[in-house]
Structure 1
């Protein structure tokens, strides 16, 4: 379907916004009145620029506080409307958004609103424009879409129809069922926004916390399905009020918005199988999802010195081979693979790449390209595996490759690949990876992993730290063989030591592993005695077991599904490792212990990580 976005959704001047909207791939846009009024361009200039950029102007908005007013106010409102209609003709836009009155209405009776909107519709017919009437969720007398539809029906004028806005409908918890009763040709416009679930007044919620589709908690595919099933065939348009988006780069925000709409179209197709397909011929499907089946490897920059190698050795990893032509090493233990890229010359150890296993590389590549992800083909020569990477919003590369047999294809590029470990193996596989996120790009990251890789939003947590709350969101595949924790560090946090990426490695016996790794010379993150004294007040733990846990700085969490044991290495540059054991069906990350870890990391004086 045709894609559109309101200029209020992104930052910058009007010219910057329009260029960004065009480059992102939108077909058109809604012009927000403030953007027009504050622009040095005339309406004719804006129309010409839009034509040059290949954009249509789909909606003029907003026209506020018209109906339900006194006769004298109505006269002023009609004069104001005539001026707006004239500007619309100069811009070349034929539809205006009229919001239900929130301030100047004096009479709650529908009849007054019907009579006055009828007069507005007659004026619109004279100017050859249309009015999309929208029920604002905080409207004074009209605040639901079914109420606004009853008024539009009563006016019964060809120039008056509805605007259905997902925020105003879903924020009130309104049922979508009545949309089916609205003829498609009376739905003049559809606006889309997602949102997190919040306990706020609806006006504040709307003005500051809207999100692009797929970044929040609402079922927007069901909303779009309802509108299309009713016969709507116009643009799908984003109207997003979000302080963070407007502070970001216009090109990035517009690209993210377009990605969200294309993903929403694809998801709507996915739930439309039980409906007549004739209504959905304008929806554009994406290449099929290729949900990752597991982690293939992580790629690390070693930093200066040999601390990373020492820590990997102490963790029980072995050098499995060196790449045949690159300064790259493969370290393995169980099904966990760590690639050290010695061609990278940064001064500190850092996570730079993550490899995942998929069924079809080509299809995933096409999907990523369709969603305008930044593809980064791998440097390869004849006989080497073609790994494709996409750059995530936090600048970490995510590679995708196919798994064949026990080892991935690319592992054959490493000479002297060891098939059998010479030491006791304690760790089995990568359980999850936690990634730091720039505060202004966390929602973009969620959409990135949902839309390209098909990961599902699992949960969200706010974790206390000495600098403030760390906002955390988790994404997983269905089988939980892929788990990503996205962590937003507090604004103003100094240094990278406390807020780092980390790799969680699984074991089947946490205390046995802790003893083994301690004997290997691994220094772990120390846990205060107060933690263990408090633990006894929360859980019934055998005294001897608790003593062992304290001796080896093992933390504990439990819920109705099972138990969770974990401990951490001390930081290595901007990353650290976590060793975990899940017991029974425990599905979390030990978030209740995160504040202890953050405090301990903040307190340490790093003088060497391994004996």
Structure 2
């Protein structure tokens, strides 16, 4: 099968969209009528452009409000159709999408619907055109794909079949298994869209909140398997209505869309698109390192030293230095060309690093190259969509790349491990980041949370391995707010003792208002030990608990766009202290404002 995408998925004009789809590697496109109407180019010019770029025009869409109408309305519909058939001839495509009637239908009768669709199909046949009838989830009388197939079967025209759209089927909770009862040659087109689980009217859900495969809650892998079992052999296309995607860079969004199809094919165990199978998923077993890059990293040296990390040396050939606390390894890299320090790379431990890189590349991630001299460990990497580099290693750090650092001292003052790496993204990159973490890094999405912040709700989506060995919360701030700062969270055994020792070394922590600790006392009462509450207040430590255990955590001030969180998990607590996020975000906003005032 071939890959396709509807032009409605993308921003820009029709010509821009066509170039982006070709660049992303799609085989074909669905041309949206509205995109063509707004284009300066003629249908003949659009046809020629697609031919030069190697794109098929798989379908012209949509044609609306056909069946279930009175005779006078239907006669006008046929006249409208004739005009669109001529446009299709000029475009060089022979398939039209016909949506079930949502506006003008007044007759809920299969016989009437079949007769009118049959007449339209006869008109189309005279032009060599096929019609793919689609049951819209909000159709007046036909809203279920099984009803659409029943009407098509009754109309009994060789050039009339069904279009199956995953959103219209799965959003209504329809059983997709009945797809296998439709002969494959009567399924004329298949459209895919994912979506988050939302409680809202299906029309608004469809028009504003569709997502590319792998970003929502639909079982698209199962859907695709049913389609293949039916014997369908046409294009697999994306039709995603989404306010964000229609505002973002068209080339990047098209590449993002194409990656989602590769991910879906791999997840479904399918060969639907005919692509070379991607290497198997490499489940991360731990975080190898976190890299902070940029200028003025001396402040980060001081911060890590005060936290209790040990300086383990400078790289023998690069302006890079290493700090460790047990298995928590942070690299400071002055080669990264940014004025402000930022979280620039993540290293992951996997069973087969080569396979992990090859999988990410098969999903469209470009290789990331760094200079490596003879005798040095080559760590293969790719660039994620936002430029953050991801490295994979199958060797113990102490026996591979760590041996290249010289002049350092002994271990740090505590045995730490990277608990999680928190990544902030601007609103337009959030869904792309979630898809990359799932498809290329092998992480699973947890239930998303909305956290109140001083400039609106911050959406937090945790991506993690089932074991929790690797956790990457991804945060999305409101469009009017700055991109959330990124941070690395390091787990320790006794946070109170560590915080007290760090304070003695001169560590300043994020100021926490007394009101927070008064609220803790009111919330937990005598079940919260008075001495512990006193320690928390003294040291600026946040606290949370659930039925499984307790969570203590504190934050350092930000250096550039990065800060450190020190955490202690007690018992089986598995969260991230989300209840404390509003207080933390407000405190960080005050700290940022104070820094700017001093600057």
Band the TM-score falls in, shorter-chain normalisation: over 0.9
Cα distance in 1, alignment partners of residues 50 and 390 from structure 2 = 36
Match of 2:519 among 534, 538, 563: 534
Cα contact 2:426–2:479 (8 A) shared by 1: no
1:414 pairs with 2:401: no
1:548 aligned partner: 535
1:441 pairs with 2:429: yes
1:336 pairs with 2:328: yes
Secondary structure class of the residue paired with 2:499: helix
Secondary structure class of the residue paired with 2:281: coil
Cα offset, 1:603, TM superposition = 1.9
1:352 pairs with 2:344: yes
Q: 1:593 to 1:116 in 2, by over 3 A?
A: same
1:379 pairs with 2:392: no
Cα distance in 2, alignment partners of residues 117 and 229 from structure 1 = 27
Give CA-to-partner distance per residue, 1:150-179, whole Å, 9 cap, x none. 111111211111100011111111111211
Runs of 4+ in 1 over 6 A off after TM superposition: none
Cα offset, 1:283, TM superposition = 6.4
1:583 pairs with 2:582: no
Greater Cα shift, 366-375 or 70-79: 366-375
Q: 1:167 to 1:73 in 2, by over 3 A?
A: same
Q: How does 1:58-457 map to 2 (within 5 A)?
A: 58-269=58-269, 282=274, 284-301=276-293, 303-304=295-296, 306-344=298-336, 346-404=338-396, 407=398, 409-416=400-407, 418=409, 420-421=410-411, 425-457=413-445
Relative to the length of structure 1, the TM-score reads 0.94
2:455 aligned partner: 467
Cα offset, 1:284, TM superposition = 4.7
Cα distance in 2, alignment partners of residues 33 and 376 from structure 1 = 40
Equivalent pairs counted in the alignment come to 593
Q: Structure 1: where are the runs of 5+ without partners?
A: 273-278
Greater Cα shift, 300-309 or 184-193: 300-309
Cα distance in 2, alignment partners of residues 474 and 415 from structure 1 = 36
Greater Cα shift, 78-87 or 346-355: 346-355
Cα distance in 1, alignment partners of residues 274 and 189 from structure 2 = 16
Greater Cα shift, 301-310 or 126-135: 301-310
Secondary structure class of the residue paired with 1:247: coil
Cα distance in 1, alignment partners of residues 255 and 294 from structure 2 = 33
Greater Cα shift, 338-347 or 223-232: 338-347
Cα contact 2:291–2:332 (8 A) shared by 1: yes
Secondary structure class of the residue paired with 1:132: strand
Secondary structure class of the residue paired with 2:246: helix
1:9 aligned partner: 9
Cα offset, 1:308, TM superposition = 1.3
Cα distance in 1, alignment partners of residues 187 and 58 from structure 2 = 14
Greater Cα shift, 51-60 or 527-536: 527-536
Q: 1:341 to 1:266 in 2, by over 3 A?
A: same
Secondary structure class of the residue paired with 2:50: helix
Cα offset, 1:301, TM superposition = 2.6
Q: 1:231 to 1:368 in 2, by over 3 A?
A: same
1:493 aligned partner: 481
Match of 1:517 among 467, 484, 502: 502
Give CA-to-partner distance per residue, 1:128-166, whole Å, 9 cap, x none. 211100000111111111111111111121111110001
Cα offset, 1:108, TM superposition = 1.1
Cα offset, 1:280, TM superposition = 6.1
Cα offset, 1:401, TM superposition = 2.0
Cα offset, 1:345, TM superposition = 5.7
Q: Structure 2: where are the runs of 5+ without partners?
A: none
1:601 aligned partner: 588
Secondary structure class of the residue paired with 1:245: coil
Q: 1:457 to 1:224 in 2, by over 3 A?
A: same
Cα offset, 1:354, TM superposition = 1.3
Cα distance in 2, alignment partners of residues 350 and 506 from structure 1 = 21
Cα contact 1:304–1:346 (8 A) shared by 2: no
Cα distance in 1, alignment partners of residues 535 and 487 from structure 2 = 25
Q: 1:52 to 1:302 in 2, by over 3 A?
A: closer
Cα contact 1:68–1:108 (8 A) shared by 2: yes
Cα offset, 1:393, TM superposition = 2.9
Relative to the length of structure 2, the TM-score reads 0.95
Cα offset, 1:515, TM superposition = 1.6
2:489 aligned partner: 504
Cα contact 2:297–2:341 (8 A) shared by 1: no
Cα distance in 2, alignment partners of residues 353 and 401 from structure 1 = 13
Cα distance in 1, alignment partners of residues 595 and 40 from structure 2 = 59
Cα distance in 2, alignment partners of residues 344 and 261 from structure 1 = 33
Cα distance in 2, alignment partners of residues 394 and 280 from structure 1 = 29
Cα distance in 1, alignment partners of residues 55 and 334 from structure 2 = 47
